Structure 1
Amino acid sequence: MLLKKLCYIVSLLFIVSSSSALEIKGTINLSERWQPKVFLALLNSPDDIFVASPDFIIAETFINPDGSFEINTQSVPDDERFYRLYLVQGDNASVEFSATQNKNYFHLLLDRQSEIILTATTQNNSLEVMELRGSEASKAIFDFGEKFAEQRGELSRELPKAKSTFLSQELENFIHTIVAGAENPYVGLYALYHIDDKETDFLRNSDFYFNFQKRLEDELPVTPYTEAYSELLDELIGFREFVCEMPGVQPKWKDWLMLVEALIILVLILFLISLSRKFNKMRSRENVTTNNLKPVYDGLTLKQQEILSLLAAGRSNKEIAQELFVELSTVKTHINNIYRQLNVSTRKDAVDFYHSIKK
């Protein structure tokens, strides 16, 4: 009996010790202004690439005096996800991260079996990775991030309009090339979410977005990221439909519909009597709905109400950022908050909500 118990305990210890765990270790040459601590955040949606939250943090560890550190955790999903590894300066909050000056983070694409070894420094007042080993996918998104930041930096300068337009197109083409040619579809997904004005890009290159959706569904059919991309695509489709409904905008593929308009009118005539009887009832119901929705609208901040009105006017995220003189990431955060407060998931739903309030 005792022998059986010992065998059971030994077997259990073996299983626990052999179970997979995400491991990140290495050396960071830390300057004095930086806190001796490393944070690891899990990003459960591609939208979270540009969002900071204490809820994302899944592990943290101290950096030893010699610069060495190690993160080892089993509290992560089995499949590949995006992670953010970052440091903080001075008294800054642990959830803050900067993508421009004094960059303090980089992203990784890992699963629970990943083992990463890195060497980094903060000597130039920015987190610079000198070496990254253990994940080709992470190396790919890291290399993309470096090249993207370099090309984006060119656009941040004061440039003639013609040159700015050319560089913007070059950056867009670069992202498209990475998305189409990435060996790992998640590397392509990471790059795609760096397109600033997805709405305009989708109007010009819708096949590019649909082809990438097919690849995700073929290679990674049941994942949170594939689902998130499908939701993004639904929103882009809704935006296109909204734009096509605006006066003066008529897509060529709708021209043939004019041939059946007469039939539609005839069908509608058959419903005129029924509709006239229900008109008063429907109007009463709309008034009740508007009264119920008004407090929700009033709960938005003035800035959120202003952004919502610009969305209803057909502005893209980039145009809203330019009009309000704010960062594009700030506009995206406001829009996500608006969606959450209105309990909607697409731009079209938010615009419909606005029109129902402003009747």
Structure 2
Amino acid sequence: MKLYCYLFCIFLFASQKTLVAQYHFSGYVDTQHWSGDIYLSLIEDYRKLSGVYPEQIIQKTTSDSLGYFSFSGDNLPSENRMYRIHMENCSEDEKDAIHFNGFCPDSKEILFIANNHDSLTLPFSFDKEMFCKIVSNNQKSDAFIKVDSIIHEMRFAFASYRSETNRKLNVKKWFSTLQQYVQNQDEPLTELYIYAFLSDKANNLYAYYLEDLNTNPYYDQLLQRLQTKYPNNIYTNRYKAELASDKFLINSGENTPKNYWLWALFIVLISSIAINILQFSQARARNKIAKDLSKNLTQQEQKVLNFILEDKTNKEIASSMFVSISTIKTHINNLYKKLNVRSREEVKSLYINK
């Protein structure tokens, strides 16, 4: 009877602990070389996978004298998400200055996939390295570590022969290898991890990614997998937007002729000719109107018109015609009415290029 009570108590205690803390991430750090706080981050922006970003941090802890630390709780999403555990040796005074762009030269981190129900441990590796191994009940948790090993092999292959020919021969093979591997994992977040690496504009492979995107249906299929498994998720929405942007970039590049400067010069030339023709036509039309209106002018008004076109002032016109200034003003007012204008500038505009 006592045995049953003992087992029941153990079960009750375990059940209560499970209800209180559904996830449990723990591990060990090398206390000889690393000290300070240890951070757990939830990564919602897959363009910020590696680095130190305060807005991503959701928990902070410290290790004990043996280097053991743990995170636990019941506040994580129930679906798989990308997480990072990291620590750095930067002092509090240095952090703001050093981490302003997310980069920390003296930090150690590990990326993994997890959810609110996972138990995960980070033991030392066989060579006593920390953050190199993941043991978890979630089979997807260590997917990033496996992908990193393939990327390491790819980099070694490219470094062996640095020629452009070697790069072109190998890039298609490695793109296919990486995409096929992550697709077989049946976890679109792992595929996003590869996508973030291949499509990084700072990466030497970016040009090859654009070529691959133009011919490979894989990227559209990945979008479908994300929309199926993570509908309306920030990962999915960002990937959809980036995919559309990159496709637009490719299409606009294809539609732009290589001798674009010749086309630009041709367009400018045609535009200039068209403007000149339009201005000439407008001038001819104005001249015709002015000629027709001039038929209604008296001899004195015609003389005043000629003086105005010569930029003579009222005083100069009156002196030349031996009449008073008031008489000239009367002629000008009559002239304006017959030509349907209101100023000397409008009179002159009627007779440009006449």
- Out of 109, 118, 132, the position equivalent to 1:105 is 109
Counterpart in the other structure of 1:199: 210
Structure 1 residues 180, 130: CA separation in 2 closer, same or farther (over 3 Å shift)?
closer
The 8 Å contact of residues 21 and 72 in structure 2, kept in 1 or not, is answered as: no
Q: Distance in 1 between matches of 2:125 and 2:182?
A: 30
Matched, 1:136 2:135: no
Counterpart in the other structure of 1:60: 60
Question: Secondary structure at the residue paired with 1:193?
Answer: helix
Question: Secondary structure at the residue paired with 2:70?
Answer: strand
Question: Secondary structure at the residue paired with 2:124?
Answer: strand
Counterpart in the other structure of 1:239: 249
Q: Distance in 2 between matches of 1:111 and 1:170?
A: 33
How far has the Cα of 1:118 moved from its partner? 1.9
Counterpart in the other structure of 1:210: 220
Equivalent residues in 2 for 1:154-169 (5 A)?
154-156=157-159, 159-169=162-172
Matched, 1:26 2:36: no
Code of the aligned partner of 1:220: Y
Q: Distance in 1 between matches of 2:123 and 2:113?
A: 17
Code of the aligned partner of 1:46: Y
Code of the aligned partner of 1:65: S
The 8 Å contact of residues 122 and 128 in structure 1, kept in 2 or not, is answered as: no
Structure 1 residues 21, 153: CA separation in 2 closer, same or farther (over 3 Å shift)?
farther
How far has the Cα of 1:225 moved from its partner? 1.3
Counterpart in the other structure of 1:83: 83
How far has the Cα of 1:226 moved from its partner? 1.4
Counterpart in the other structure of 1:346: none
Counterpart in the other structure of 2:283: none
Question: Secondary structure at the residue paired with 2:42?
Answer: strand
The 8 Å contact of residues 185 and 215 in structure 1, kept in 2 or not, is answered as: yes
Structure 1 runs not aligned, ≥5 long: 1-13, 250-275, 277-359
Structure 1 residues 35, 149: CA separation in 2 closer, same or farther (over 3 Å shift)?
farther
Matched, 1:41 2:41: yes
Q: Distance in 2 between matches of 1:15 and 1:221?
A: 33
Flag the structure with larger Rg. 2
Counterpart in the other structure of 2:233: 223
Report the aligned-residue RMSD.
3.3
Q: Distance in 2 between matches of 1:179 and 1:130?
A: 19
How far has the Cα of 1:144 moved from its partner? 1.0
How far has the Cα of 1:149 moved from its partner? 3.0
Equivalent residues in 2 for 1:338-353 (5 A)?
none
Counterpart in the other structure of 1:190: 193
Structure 1 residues 76, 219: CA separation in 2 closer, same or farther (over 3 Å shift)?
closer
Question: Secondary structure at the residue paired with 2:213?
Answer: helix
TM-score by length of 1: 0.56
Question: Secondary structure at the residue paired with 1:138?
Answer: coil
- Residues 30-80 of structure 1 show CA distances to partners (whole Å, capped at 9, x for unaligned) of 053322432111111222224542111111211112121111133433322
The 8 Å contact of residues 40 and 60 in structure 1, kept in 2 or not, is answered as: yes
Q: Which moved more, 1:105-114 or 1:146-155?
A: 146-155
TM-score by length of 2: 0.57
Q: Distance in 1 between matches of 2:86 and 2:140?
A: 18
- Residues 60-108 of structure 1 show CA distances to partners (whole Å, capped at 9, x for unaligned) of 211112121111133433322111111213547395556xx98721211
The 8 Å contact of residues 158 and 166 in structure 2, kept in 1 or not, is answered as: no
Structure 1 residues 59, 127: CA separation in 2 closer, same or farther (over 3 Å shift)?
same
Q: In the comparison of the two structures, how many residue pairs are matched?
A: 232
Code of the aligned partner of 2:227: E
Q: Distance in 1 between matches of 2:159 and 2:38?
A: 30
Structure 2 runs not aligned, ≥5 long: 1-14, 200-205, 260-277, 279-354
Code of the aligned partner of 2:152: A
Structure 1 residues 242, 225: CA separation in 2 closer, same or farther (over 3 Å shift)?
same
